[in-house]
Structure 1
Amino acid sequence: MRVYFLCLLLAGATSLSSCLKILRPSHAFIKSAVPEAPDYRMEDNWAALPDRRDSADRVPRNTLLRDNQRNAPVDVFFIHPTTYYWRKQWNASLSNERVNRFTDETVIRGQASAFNSTARVYAPRYRQATLYSFFDEKEPNGKQALEVAYDDVKTAFQFYLDNYNHGRPIIIAGHSQGTVHATQLLHDFFEQSPRLRRQLVAAYLIGFKVKPDEYTTIRPCEDSTQTGCFITWNTVAWGNSYAPFANSVATNPLTWTRDTTTAPARLNLGGVPQSFDRQDKRLVGAKVHEGLVWVHPPAPKGYPRFLLPGRPNLRHSFHIADYALFYTNIRQNAEARVRAYRMLMGGQ
């Protein structure tokens, strides 16, 4: 695991030329070789549940932030990003304790926890597609692996609706691969059900491309308190582009609008680095530009860029830090949208 982690996270590294080759599974996708599907009746198949101690309960050390899931008025269904980089198979096994531990200590702690002041956190483990699936452009392997992963997410969400939700308002949130699956989840459940759309506080579809016309009934959010809508952005270093995300919706996470006005760093309530031991207030400003959010590279350490050989535009991407750079703003915005939703629904 450490080799793949370093391939992805070491900004400025010069020895990455073989990284993609290392990440590619050595065989084609074979359905019979896919790990056993999870049973979501088993708590171990959830990375986070609100009535159990887990990494989603955490708050950054040395801050005044607090977990409030016990009294939270809504739920968040959080779909974690790719944390499986191995080449052994195209989809992760839920019995892989190293992957589970890595997931919990990084993205469940650093991303899902952003919602724990206002929402009860439900985060399924799933047979996530290995990272190389997103670069498997000439073969169907990656697509098939992602389909397996989505089948699990869809099953987990249905189990959540049947057993945990009890009609409570819902936030949908994800990042990267998680957002790929969350985007489809909105199609399969919320677009098809007026009842579920009434329960939707908002969807945070962060770290992947979402088109302005992705849905017929769910629109991009236009301000900080609109509900029943979606928010999305992809963060890059100021002045750079990334063609695959061109013409995506981009929400400025400092103003929660989609205009191109530069939001100054004084509006940044606090980024939280990978060490999860502080808030860096006024960390970065932000500007929407052609489907991306531009930021100047932050001075404090702990907010890595995304580096892969042969993908020069990714050298400017803060994909891994999409949540971290704006952690406290996300937290406050989720609270604001929940308050607005409850007022709209008469105090529900």
Structure 2
Amino acid sequence: MIRIIFTQIFVLFMVVGSLEANSQNKILIINDFNVGPLPKVPNYSENQSWAALPTISDMADLLPKSKNVMGDNQAKAPADVFYIYPTIYTQLPENEYTWNASTEDQKLNAKIDNSAIKNQATVFNGSCKVYAPRYRQAHYSVFLTKDSVSAKKALDLAYSDVKMAFEYYLSHFNQNRPILIAAHSQGTLHAIRLLQDFFDEKPLKEKLVTAYLVGMPVNDSMFKNIKLSTKPEEIGGYVSWNTFSNGYFPDYYKNGLHKSQLVNPIIWTNEDIFTDYSLHKGTVGLKFKVSPQIVSSKASEGLLWIKKPKVFGKAFIKTKIWHFADYNLFWMNVRENVALRVKNYIE
């Protein structure tokens, strides 16, 4: 019976699939970045170079099971979101490419679509047209290797695609509309650079509704005039969080998390106090279903700490690092916050 209960809880919080499970394999690429061919450069004039576009049917159009989720409103949404997915390329390379994934890898694309696009990008379809480029993401090894030169080259290559996709988006899709930037994990590294290159002390800053920079350490020193938003309705800034079990400090805490500036995505302030469960609007978990009032969280010491989720068998939950569920845990709160900030920007 204990094993069955644990399995149910494990499945509930592993819905993001590859974001966590595969990364724990810790496959490490040992060859130099310059060895071997590079994947083909994506062509963003082609639909297949996008994981999500508002003009095609894709996983970003989905809605979880709930009576309280507003519909997919991309057809008439007043704003755009440019979403950058996290590291899904974690497995042992199965082709000639090592440090960076090919955007033509159909097996990997399916993993991206069924994990990150389904569980994260869908958050935004109630208030935004969703644009999510496929890019030659860097292998998970960039976060493990001591070969910092190869890691930087792989991340630079990945960012070059993200930048190219954003330039194409601006030229062909945006039409002077408000913009949200959203990302997770590796995607957030690229989103930070995107904000620096296109928004920070740039005219485009006036079009920035909010940046959701999730799953990586972020602080105000990374920007000149883009700051942490500490009120739920604020626009023009960024919000960020990294989720861990209450009181837990990861081994890599001193690598940047200790300097993180963050908000609690249940109340959108940085108060160091646990929220009431009644304020939690809903986690998206098992079978893509919304479960409300099961999470309590607080922002403390650069981390977002959560109590054990209020689910059956919670005593058997041993998870300390909730990185894989940074969006899922607060899915409905994020969705409602997106709507609020877009509304405030428009008004």
TM-score tier (shorter): 0.7 to 0.9
Q: Counterpart of 1:209? A: 217
Q: How has the CA–CA distance of structure 1 residues 105 and 294 changed in structure 2, closer, same or farther, with 3 Å as cutoff?
A: same
Match of 2:86 among 64, 81, 89: 81
* 1:299 Cα offset (Å): 4.3
1:38-79 CA-partner distances (Å, limit 9, x unpaired): 010111000000011100000103444211111100000000
1:104 aligned partner: 113
Change (3 A) 1:203 1:6: closer
Deviations 1:95-153 (A, max 9, x none): 10011001001110100000000000000000000111111134422211111000000
1:175·1:206 contact (CA, 8 Å) conserved in 2?
yes
Shift of 1:8: 3.9
- Asked if 1 retains the 8 angstrom alpha-carbon contact of 2:20 and 2:323, the reply is no
Question: Alignment partner of 1:51: what SS?
Answer: coil
Residue 241 of structure 1: SS of its match in structure 2?
coil
**How many Å apart are 1:26 and its aligned residue?**
4.4
Q: Does 1:226 align with 2:226?
A: no
Preserved contact between residue 220 and residue 226 of structure 2 (Cα < 8 Å):
no
Which residue number in structure 1 is paired with residue 305 of structure 2? 294
| Structure 1: runs of 5 or more not aligned | 308-314, 344-348
What is the DSSP-based 3-state SS (H/G/I as helix, E as strand, rest coil) of the residue aligned with 1:269?
coil
Structure 2 residue aligned with 1:57, among 50, 61, 68?
61
- Report the Cα offset of residue 87 of structure 1: 3.3
> Hey, what does 1:280 align to over in structure 2?
291
Q: What 5-or-longer segments of structure 2 have no aligned partner?
A: 1-16
Aligned Cα root-mean-square deviation (Å): 2.1
Alignment partner, residue 70 of structure 1: 75
Residue of structure 2 equivalent to 1:253 = 265
Say if 1:272 and 1:324, in contact at 8 Å, map to a contact too. Answer: yes
Supply the distance in 2 between the matched residues of 1:274 and 1:190 (Cα, whole angstroms): 37
The CA deviation at 1:300 is 3.8
| 2:290 alignment partner AA | Q
Aligned to 2:274: 262
Q: Distance in 1 between matches of 2:336 and 2:127?
A: 9
2:177 is aligned with 1:177: no
Kindly provide the CA deviation profile for residues 188-233 of structure 1, in whole angstroms up to 9, marking residues without a partner as x. 0001422x11100000000001023221111100100000000000
Q: Amino acid of the residue matched to residue 222 of structure 1?
A: T
Q: CA offset at residue 274 of structure 1?
A: 5.2
- Give deviations 1:157-195, integer Å, cap 9, x for gaps: 00000000000000000000010000110000001422x
For residue 273 of structure 1, report the CA deviation from its aligned partner. 1.0
Cα 1:140–1:153 shift into 2, 3 Å: same
- Which string of whole-angstrom CA distances, capped at 9 and with x for unpartnered residues, describes residues 9-28 of structure 1? 299xxxx7xx32xx112422
Structure 1 ranges of 4+ moved more than 6 A: none
Cα distance in 2 for partners of 1:234, 1:39 equals: 33
Please list, as runs of the form range in 1=range in 2, the aligned pairs for 1:151-170 lying within 5 A after superposition: 151-170=160-179
Evaluate the alpha carbon distance shift between residue 147 and residue 31 of structure 1 in structure 2; reply closer, same or farther with a 3 A threshold: farther
Give deviations 1:310-341, integer Å, cap 9, x for gaps.
xxxxx621000000000000000000001111
Instruction: Give the corresponding residue for 1:48.
Output: 52
Structure 1: distance between partners of 2:271 and 2:304: 11
Equivalent-residue separation in structure 1 for 2:62 and 2:305 (angstroms): 29
Q: Aligned in 2, Cα 1:10/1:53: closer, same or farther, shift over 3 Å?
A: closer
Q: 1:266 offset after TM fit, Å?
A: 1.1
Q: Which one-letter code corresponds to 2:59 in the other structure?
A: S
- Which moved further from structure 2: 133-142 or 114-123? 133-142
Secondary structure in 2 matching 1:75: strand
Q: What is the TM-score of this pair, normalised by structure 1?
A: 0.87
- Worse-matched range after superposition: 120-129 or 236-245: 236-245
Structure 2 residue aligned with 1:187:
196
Residue 252 of structure 1: CA displacement? 0.5
TM-score of the aligned structures, taking structure 2 as reference length: 0.87
2:164 counterpart letter in structure 1: T
Gap change, CA 1:6 and 1:219, over 3 Å in 2 = closer
Residues 182 and 274 (structure 1 numbering): CA distance in 2 closer, same or farther, change over 3 Å? farther
Identity in percent: 37
**SS state of the match for residue 209, structure 2?**
strand
